Structure 1
Amino acid sequence: MDTKYQVFISSTYVDLKEQREQVVKTVLRMGHLPVGMEMFDAADDSQWETIKRHINNSDYYLLIIAHRYGSEDSDGMGFTEKEYSYALEQNIPCIAFMIDNSIKDWHNDFIDSGKQKKKLDKFKARFKNKLVNFWTSKDNLALQVSHSLSTLITNNPRIGWVRANKATTSPLVAEEISRLSKENNELKILLSENNKPDEIEEVKNILLNIKYKIKYSTDHEYKTIDCLSIFILVGPGLVTEISNFHYYNHVDSIVAGIEIEDDMSNIFEENYQNEIREISISITQNLSMLDLISSRKVDKSTHWTLTTKGKLLLTRIKHGSTASTIDNNK
């Protein structure tokens, strides 16, 4: 099957415009799909949210570094470094191309100094113990990209994209359709009137009796919440499969009583972060043991989703009634 891969191209922009154009052409000649910030339309989303969405949809991440650190987000970190860190967190195969120090013919306007240079040097230092490619010209860079990206694709095959008429005949698609059909039949059986109603009721009662004492961020007061209430909030986000990173940020935000989807590391003190994560891990263990959620490995990372029983419990709660409680200051 002719698979096309989406390649996210990251770099500072003005100083590397010609090099980026050459790399984009190279990726296109290889038959793949280049993506970069210059290709995005303005939207209501914040710039960082837009970047993350495109990185999440990419199969590979390609980084080009010269002598500028680049524009920074509100947290003080450059977008280029932030993109690289995020791609690593998502376990997306990354490949870096750094300008060779022997190149002296470089415009002074495109060479950082002072605070920006210190940030750039610190960023470059992250590659000391990693495989990095050094380029000397835009043509040399294009040649290296062609060779290194081909090797990366061979050694780290990803899902990629295929034409719709070919995708429907794929064994993987057929397998997924079969799995979903089986799950649909299981749900129909479980939803029938005579199908073990006591089992689901028993699970609800178990969840009601599992309680957590949580210090909410909104008012800094301790409250007691049962696991059923937490499951009602967590469950809808697991109807479709999500990554381990997004799963724990989702659960952490519910435990903390806030609405966020990003990394919480810059929001709370370390002790509070640890307290939140310990509760989230305990919740996960209980929901897993009751067969309400399950995990599987996808490209060396863990993904989470609701089980058939979990979907059934949510459906019953939605169409029925359940007693879940939050007690203040207990």
Structure 2
Amino acid sequence: MSAKYQVFVSSTYMDLSGERDSVIKAILEMGHIPVGMEMFSAADEEQWNVIKKQIDQSDYYIVIVAHRYGSCDATGLSYTEKEYDYAVSQGVPALGFVVDDDISWPKDKSDTDRATLKKLKVFKEKVKLKHVSFWKNGEDLYGRCSIALMKAFNTYPREGWVRASQVQDAAAAKEIVRLSSENASLRERLHGFEIAADVEVAIEKTIVTMRANKRKISVWKKTSTDWDEGKEITLYQLFEVLAPEMQVELALPEISRFTATHALSVSAKELRASWPTPRNVIRSLLADLAALGCVAPSNKRKPVADKEEYWALSDFGVKLLARMRRRRLERLESLTKIENKAEKDVKTDA
């Protein structure tokens, strides 16, 4: 969409009419819209609000300065400087074009009053604080203005003006982009729901498989000289015990001890210190749980001196544990409601 920029051109009037025409010509030939001071009565206070509105609507501001300060308002501030200050205060990119002091200039186009010259000097120094070009004549000003505006368009892009038809086309294109983005978002959400549904199915299948697979795990007690026959538990029961501890990670010897004390319900005081359950059996159980996608070797970095083997829950294992814990909480809630109802019925009967 091609935008046309409105450029406000400010200068003193009679002494710079030719130079201002050069700037306006440059703006028009670039395909943009100049707003010239000749449209207004610069010294008319009633026009100041109109001028401010034009500056507000402009995309860029140009000030041309030579050797006259210009007509002033009641406070002694020239309207040219007043416009410049307002444009800067409103954030309109301001481009200054100050005549080269080494160029000969007609005396009838120059101020001679000492106080006025002082104001003019201060104003020039203010303009030089921002983007400024020094020109020698109208032709030189024309070229410098074209170059400066082109740089400003690229460096400080503005909203500009466009045809209504272009705006409508742009609005349609914007709506297409919005709908495409919304469609992509909906597809992503649908894909997420599909994945979630697949996970739910996988969790249910895994729970069924874990409950169907039983293992008998031996234990070695302090008072024993060999393995004692342990009790039989399901993979589901084992995972239910180990999973909360494996949310971060758990070393293999700890898994052995935790299996004996929590899964087999043997007091820690009765067990020998190291490997109270068989190492090969523990590895086999972890391999089964890994085959179901519930656990995996931990990938956390360890000190070189740490030679232990660590295991942790997989992402699927975390979801499976959450489901199991949620079901337990729901069962407890149901039991609590039943007990409360029974108590209430007993009191009613009494």
Give the TM-score of the pair, scaled to structure 2: 0.47
Question: Relative contact order: is structure 1 or structure 2 higher (C-alpha 8 Å, sep ≥ 6)?
Answer: 1
Of the two, which has the highest radius of gyration?
2
Q: In proportion to residue count, which structure has more helix?
A: 2
